[in-house]
Structure 1
Amino acid sequence: MCSTDCATPVECLEGALQALAGQDLKPLFGPAVLERCGALVVARNRLGAEVARTVREGELTQASEHDGAASMGGWLRGHHRLPPGVASRLVRNGRALEQLPVLAAAAAAGGVSPEAVSVIAPVASAENVAAAEAQGVELAGIDAALTKVAILRSHSELRQVVAHYLARLDPDGPEPDPTECRSLTIGRDGNGMVVGRFVLDAVGGEKLQAAIESILQATRPAGDLRSRAQQAGDALVQLCDNALASGNLPILRTVKPHVVVRLDIDDLVDPHPGAGAARTGFGGIISAARARWLACDGNVSRVVFGPDGHRLDLGRSHRVVPPALRRAVELRDEHCVFAGCDAPSYWCDVHHLLHWIDGGETTLENSGLLCERHHTKVHHGFQIVRDTAGRWHTYRPDSTEIQIFEPFLVPA
């Protein structure tokens, strides 16, 4: 703790960061800038190690349950808006630092970055520790050796050394299950474009390439001078179009999977381009013109939040939410409304705010989207409430509200 009046080390850190942010960098020249930057990188490494250590303690004590989250990874995603991959890496880093004390000491001193810890983390997984013990490999020696590489060698070399070690743990083992190494992550960049990364085994990758190549070659028009990557992107979308049009995909919450676009009626009938006027089911923003183009080959459903259109007020005779009401709830809520949860609508149930058994009606006003976990939480003491401004609030069983981290004032 510093010599000031700070009550906790975290308060000291906040004061130091505030002082750093207030420092004028313009008077600094080259060497001074580099010295400052280097010190900050070391501090970043040390802070990363401390965050991982704290996340691990939260995992061991199930601290996330206090806010209704299933795990520390879920809490980091929901309450601090970290991408899923970043949250997962923090959890893995915390586990690894607990298992590898030499690496933990180097990270705490700022000599090893959080990214390097992430590369080494698989070494400390339960299956790899068991494999090392079976071969008489001492984890302490591996901890020291890999930490030395992380401190002295490049990041790419560290990756190679770790990969070599893991491969040597089981050189003659059984053929790996291909489903264990497959992954697909999808997100959005700052421009709203859908971006992603996938990893497939050799056979799975061959299937994808065969499907993409067949569509690419069959539909490639003469004179198309775009890159192969652009053409392959078209082929991937066409592959999805074919699958959706076949009607053979699994049902999602009683509804066949389809592209959902929400657009106000005024924008639908007005011929203006309407940039950013429509929202897709997965949170994308498109123009009114693009939405009208989709409507040419789709069904247009009118959902009126009021007495007209679909009869959303079903009174007491209906306990099960019908498709029209579910669609209205999905359009309003978009995802699980429990604080810190962004589970998509197709994972969610429609929850009666006042339970049906207690006299609650099956209406839009008495409904809210909840994923399976948080639906269970609400039936075991937690409570969700929608205020007059349309904002959802979540309360713990002791009636305290779960607050989402919002350190900055958002301009009106």
Structure 2
Amino acid sequence: MTLLVSDPDVDQPDEVDPIRFVETMAEKLLETVPVATAGRLNDERALRFAAAAEKLGRYADALRVTVATDIGDRCRPELMEKRLSTTKGCRNEVELLERVTLVSGSTLRRRLRIGKNFRGDRSLTGQPLPPAFPIVADAVAAGTLGVDSADAIITVLTPSIPHVDLENMGRAELELVAAATGTGPGAPIPVSADLTRVQAGIWMQHLDQDGAKPREKQAMQHRGFRFGRERDGLVPVSGMLMPEIAAKAIRVMDAYLSPRTAPVAFIDEETAARGDNYDRSDTRTADQKRHDIFAVIVATAAGAAETPTIAGDAPTVLVSVRQEDLEANTGVGHIDGLELPISIATVQQMICDGGLQKVVLKKNGKIVELGTKERTFNRAQRRAIMLRDGGCIIPGCDIPAAWTEIHHVKPDRDGGPTHTSNGVCLCWFHHRTIDTSGWEIRMIDGSPQVKAPPWIDRTRRWRPATKSPTRLTDALEQTHNA
């Protein structure tokens, strides 16, 4: 795959200057085919236009990959002070290309990685070596294979190169390119880049049947899960999961999010719109629901009997806050081990479920008073409340009682007692948003009632709230007898 670059300082009357040609064609394209062209076409022509635009894009991508790879070769370390990046005052080829093209470093690194497989490495003596994927390179150069499909083939097959003979690797490459471009026997319909990746994986398993064990051994070394530094009010997480662990996690998420099996609090808005028994104030995205599912899983694990204790107690998050800030309902709190402060509203919500222990310090930091844990429902109270409510009391939310938190209906700061007649079950999401969602809760003779936001129930009536099958049976019998 080559690119002819004309030097403007050299007289070349018989050759077309490729730089000027591309610049001229780009100008003519913008003048002749404005970006909004598709909006003026009928359905069929719009689809044909999309295919034509993609074909043009494939060739443009081929040019981008090729020229980036060529410049990268001129910046290779062995050239020392003659490296093109060095002569232009840049650290490396990526910085040089960033300045010239104005695209992101990640995009340029991807082009360089793909192009390296088209161009091939150099030997220890500096001689160019044959490319690893010449068939892919030719298809990209011809504009028939997109960069996404090329990247899929290269990424999946590369790990098997040391274990597979060149003839079989070439056959796999040929078949995959034929399938991706629709040029195989019988001229089949071209497949997408995603399906090309799947097919490449099947070829890899066929060619390198013993490769799974070494890959798994390597994966075991690279597996991990980590928490990053807080930023913008959030703690980023990252890591690499073993395939079987990722599969289990995905299936758990699917179970929560599937319309057939999910608790109503986690079903998608479109599905919920087809029924009446759901919380219309729940506008969470799928990613936000996955976060809240993770919160449920962590809370459930923390309270499980099998979970290891810390100093004899279940894993507990410690939050510190100044008493004057807590009393004034202003300021911030601090979670032990995290740098980012949290709002006083979040502190109040965590106290509501987890309780409070007063610690009095002198100015020099000496502890002069250590109170007992307050404002926390004990195990017996929690079991009684969960039995009475049967789950999160917000109508339409089917989060079971074992996965809920206990909420003080009347806050402790307003004189509300830590008593079964003042506690109700709320899931993490509804507990976190109870002060802003519009839902209201009150206790009548020790039994909870809820009032929906006006956009859900215009009558604004108070309704008894329970998911307990025993209490529901009692209510049904009372209605029948009346």
TM-score, length of structure 2 as denominator length: 0.38
TM-score, length of structure 1 as denominator length: 0.43
Q: From the CA coordinates, give the structure whose radius of gyration is larger.
A: 2
